Chains A and B, each alone.
Chain A
């Protein structure tokens, strides 16, 4: 079974979701001057979306920095993206951007900090996903 790697800004929405999942997880540092983490096991990335009205800037710079490390990227198996449906067609757009860049599937999308239903579906989904991968 692999791990989760996640980014959560100071608003803490994604962090709150990951805490409720109770799964092994590594957090990407918030600030650019902190040392970037290295991950050496298969992982699924959980990331919020920061797109503007044209879809620009969907993936946070720190997530890009993390994925620019080829070794980190080689362990990426899928992406779970969050956002807000209020952003229309760019809802959870970071998931699509990373999926197409890194050729991995978008596994799930949720809004803000997620509901109890989101937590259950991600827990079940991850369990099945890692079984298929092994």
Chain B
């Protein structure tokens, strides 16, 4: 149903007590429980740490964050709104409004980091750079082209999942890298909130994509799968150039590429597809994984070298749900 059809038919109020898809309420609850604003994070505690970065490292960081701001801006103003006319339930539309707004919060957060740590002049230079960098512009245009091709709701979802679950990660790598070296740790806390949100967005839009596939013929499903992998290859090529242009000078390009492969696989999994990159290409630096999910290492047995099992430490549970 399109917006226009809705306008011409009987206006209907959204009834959250009559769900067509329980995933809508599950995700609404998850997103609203996770709501945050950048003011929650004490970014000014990073001022001293910022001063320990070289001018080149500072410029790199500002550029990376400006690139992330551009993607969040696209998702806020075009990406999430363009999915709304394709929503199959009224609750899905409501969830998409939440996603759109949180993307605005993410985009706004980078400016909070900038106003705390950087000079206006440095920031203005980076925003000018973001309009001129060929790789950043190329990936933005590729995604925007799909959003504007209103003919295919499911292709828009593919582009959206690739933005949420893949394109951000060449940028997210850097604050995780600094955090693993005990630098800009408050900034990293803020970025981790964004990373958490993007996981829910990618999961939900990927889920709706899979629901949409169920209504298609086998041939149509195959055409969309081919399209998804082709778009991933195109975006991956641009991401490699973007990564090289940013990270060659600091010697991190290969490390970042492993992180890209790992996240490309996760983006494809969100669409219900198999991984593309082999495990050898996805060996993410353990320091980066530890920065992503602190305190969660070596708790399992099959992959550990220990000879004894680890029984989980005491954790909070909703005891009213557990009878024993």
B275 touches A115 (CB 8 A): yes
Cα A62 to Cα B123 in complex, Å, equals 50
B312 touches A95 (CB 8 A): yes
Partner of B294, one of A10, A73, A88: A88
Residue B16 interfacial (CB < 8 Å): no
Which residues A100-134 have CB closer than 8 A to chain B? 100-101, 103-109, 111-113, 115-117, 121-122, 124-125
Q: Which residues of A contact B250 (CB under 8 A)?
A: none
Q: Which residues of B contact A67 (CB under 8 A)?
A: 322, 324
Q: What is the CB-to-nearest-CB distance from B273 to chain A, in angstroms, rounded to a whole number?
A: 9
Write the A50-71 contact mask toward B (1 if CB under 8 angstroms, else 0). 1011111101010010011010
Residue A85 interfacial (CB < 8 Å): yes
B198 touches A106 (CB 8 A): no
B296 touches A89 (CB 8 A): yes
Cα A113 to Cα B273 in complex, Å, equals 9
- Chain B residue nearest in CB terms to A10: B23
In the complex with contacts A11-B203, A56-B33, A107-B300, A96-B292 CB distance below 8 A: no
A91 touches B198 (CB 8 A): no
Residue B207 interfacial (CB < 8 Å): yes
Write the B297-324 contact mask toward A (1 if CB under 8 angstroms, else 0). 0011111000001111111111001111
B315 touches A100 (CB 8 A): yes
A115 touches B279 (CB 8 A): yes
Residue B289 interfacial (CB < 8 Å): yes
Q: Which residues of A contact B192 (CB under 8 A)?
A: 88
Residue B246 interfacial (CB < 8 Å): no
B23 touches A85 (CB 8 A): no
B321 touches A64 (CB 8 A): yes
B269 touches A107 (CB 8 A): no
Residue B265 interfacial (CB < 8 Å): yes
A100 touches B311 (CB 8 A): yes
Write the A76-97 contact mask toward B (1 if CB under 8 angstroms, else 0). 0010000011111111110111
In the complex with contacts A96-B312, A116-B275, A105-B199 CB distance below 8 A: no
A107 touches B313 (CB 8 A): no
In the complex with contacts A52-B34, A68-B322, A101-B317, A109-B300 CB distance below 8 A: yes
Cα A9 to Cα B207 in complex, Å, equals 10
A68 touches B300 (CB 8 A): no
Residue B111 interfacial (CB < 8 Å): no
With most chain A CB atoms within 10 A of its CB, the pick from B292, B313, B315, B323 is B315
- Chain A residue nearest in CB terms to B194: A86
B269 touches A112 (CB 8 A): yes
Cα A64 to Cα B320 in complex, Å, equals 11
Q: What is the CB-to-nearest-CB distance from B75 to chain A, in angstroms, rounded to a whole number?
A: 16
A106 touches B292 (CB 8 A): no
Cα A92 to Cα B193 in complex, Å, equals 17
Residue B60 interfacial (CB < 8 Å): no
Q: Which residues of A contact B26 (CB under 8 A)?
A: 9, 50
In the complex with contacts A101-B322, A107-B302, A125-B301, A115-B313 CB distance below 8 A: no
Residue B106 interfacial (CB < 8 Å): no
A12 touches B279 (CB 8 A): no
A96 touches B302 (CB 8 A): no
B311 touches A125 (CB 8 A): no
Cα A49 to Cα B210 in complex, Å, equals 20
Residue B196 interfacial (CB < 8 Å): yes
B33 touches A53 (CB 8 A): yes
Residue A39 interfacial (CB < 8 Å): no
Can you show 15 pairs from A to B with CB atoms below 8 A apart?
A: A9-B23, A10-B211, A12-B272, A52-B34, A53-B193, A56-B316, A85-B289, A87-B199, A88-B293, A93-B315, A101-B322, A107-B302, A113-B269, A115-B275, A116-B279
Residues on B facing A (Cβ under 8 Å): 21-23, 26, 29-30, 33-34, 36, 192-193, 195-196, 198-199, 203, 206-207, 210-211, 265-266, 269-270, 272, 275, 278-279, 282, 289, 292-296, 299-303, 309-318, 321-324
Residues on A facing B (Cβ under 8 Å): 9-13, 16, 50, 52-57, 59, 61, 64, 67-68, 70, 73, 78, 84-93, 95-101, 103-109, 111-113, 115-117, 121-122, 124-125
